[in-house]
Structure 1
């Protein structure tokens, strides 16, 4: 990881009309880091992620990508920036009427001039990276939830983005499948040099992969802590943060 700032928010407020979601959000995501957006239910984690991928314009504040003001750019320039982003949505968001290969190929077909045989080879490479090369012609309904997450990850990689956004990638997965997905995410950072922003409430995954983060508070509607999950667990004195970051440990202590 370098000290280069890839993404930055400065004094951002997010709202839907009069409904305030979060205010005074400031953060920096360094190149090659895995940055976690943390907090309890309803605090605005996914809303913040949507804003960072260009789906929700902040009410106030600045969002920049490598120093370039995203919302001050022209729509054409924002499209160029968006092509640097890969997104894995919580459900995988695969097209149910398409095979896995067709799902992964779609961004390349829509946004590049690559020949069909080249696209096919690229699809095979992306699915191979996530361990699904033999499932290229299967439909989403024919595979498990964990495989659908991996297929969604392959599609997120289709345009070779250098910035990846994951919304609850481990949600609904068993511990073994979740750990395998964590390994894939670490490989993306270490092998491809990707910068990753992840929304998650899964503590084992957060402690294993995230090296920086922000904690959003639902009551005050402001960020109340910054740091890696381990730093927040071991050093943050805010009772809400402490309860969130130690909940599984305390549950384990109370089990007979």
Structure 2
């Protein structure tokens, strides 16, 4: 891929870093010098960070900074123009298709809309990954489906169709499906998008309970400040102008200690100059 590496996209040399981060915990995912591009158009470059076991890691930034593009790349939907993703000690893009499928089974993904199959019941949606990737008996799959739905408070809806669910219920059903194969890492794309404040707060509480009760490691893309402050304990801030990460740490640390003007404006809901690109 012919990625643009012109001087105006040079890496930032003064990225503020939260000094309180726990660097001794086991690393579940390492992003190393990643550049994302569509042909000659660079979206982000020289992105590096580690996601620690049991953390809730947030990819933050305003519209158009490349948050969703980075998430798509982390879950294997977009090959980076440069750099690598290490899942544990395995390089995701170094092997063949079968290796990527095997490593990808360690991921669970909650898409922004829930992405449930409309022709299937909630239970059938949650069962589908087990049917595709395991040799479990139907009665065992049914028991596991009930367990996953019970964890997210959706067991009562096991035989309902997505069209019968509210937005918050669809998110919880999607979360149950994301957990169906007991993944090592859960990826969430704007989990609170489109939800009212009360439903959003309940989803935040559910995410915290999953992290604390199951030891889940979570990577999420979000610009919802209330959710970020409530649940995220680590993260990076992407800048659409320099096209790289300009801060690394918890949202609370960024709000209280990071003096980068763009990060400060975002964390304090201040008006900033609009960027030329739309949201990605």
User: TM-score, length-normalised on structure 2?
Assistant: 0.87
Q: Give, in whole Å, the separation in 1 of the partners of 2:250 and 2:208.
A: 15
Shift in Å, 1:73 = 2.2
**Which of 188, 203, 228 in structure 1 is aligned with 2:225?**
203
Q: Give, in whole Å, the separation in 1 of the partners of 2:186 and 2:164.
A: 26
Q: Give, in whole Å, the separation in 1 of the partners of 2:236 and 2:138.
A: 42
**Which of 82, 90, 93 in structure 2 is aligned with 1:71?**
93
Matching residue of 2:252: 230
The answer to whether 1:191 aligns with 2:213 is: yes
Matching residue of 1:57: 79
Q: Give, in whole Å, the separation in 1 of the partners of 2:41 and 2:168.
A: 35
Shift in Å, 1:74 = 2.6
Q: Give, in whole Å, the separation in 2 of the partners of 1:62 and 1:79.
A: 16
In structure 2, runs of 5+ residues without a counterpart are 1-21, 271-280
Deviation per CA, 1:10-39: give whole Å up to 9, x if none: 110001111211001010111110000000
Q: Please tell me whether the aligned partners of residues 99 and 139 of structure 1 are also in contact (alpha carbons under 8 angstroms).
A: yes
**Which of 168, 171, 174 in structure 1 is aligned with 2:193?**
171
Q: Please tell me whether the aligned partners of residues 162 and 193 of structure 1 are also in contact (alpha carbons under 8 angstroms).
A: no
Deviation per CA, 1:118-165: give whole Å up to 9, x if none: 111111111111111111011101010000000000000110112100
Shift in Å, 1:67 = 2.3
Q: Runs in 1 of length 4+ with deviation above 6 angstroms?
A: none
Q: Give, in whole Å, the separation in 1 of the partners of 2:217 and 2:155.
A: 25
Q: Secondary structure at the match of 1:247?
A: coil
Matching residue of 1:241: 263
Q: Please tell me whether the aligned partners of residues 92 and 151 of structure 1 are also in contact (alpha carbons under 8 angstroms).
A: yes
In structure 1, runs of 5+ residues without a counterpart are 249-256
The answer to whether 1:158 aligns with 2:180 is: yes
Q: Secondary structure at the match of 1:198?
A: strand
Deviation per CA, 1:173-209: give whole Å up to 9, x if none: 0111111111111111111111100000110100010
Q: CA RMSD in A?
A: 1.1
Q: Give, in whole Å, the separation in 2 of the partners of 1:68 and 1:123.
A: 30
Aligned length: 248
Greater shift, 198-207 or 63-72, is seen at: 63-72
1:113-132 aligned within 5 A:
113-132=135-154
Q: Give, in whole Å, the separation in 2 of the partners of 1:20 and 1:84.
A: 29
Q: Give, in whole Å, the separation in 2 of the partners of 1:119 and 1:195.
A: 24
Q: Please tell me whether the aligned partners of residues 165 and 197 of structure 1 are also in contact (alpha carbons under 8 angstroms).
A: yes
Deviation per CA, 1:28-62: give whole Å up to 9, x if none: 11111000000000110011011111111110112
Q: Give, in whole Å, the separation in 2 of the partners of 1:28 and 1:126.
A: 28
Matching residue of 1:9: 31
User: TM-score, length-normalised on structure 1?
Assistant: 0.95
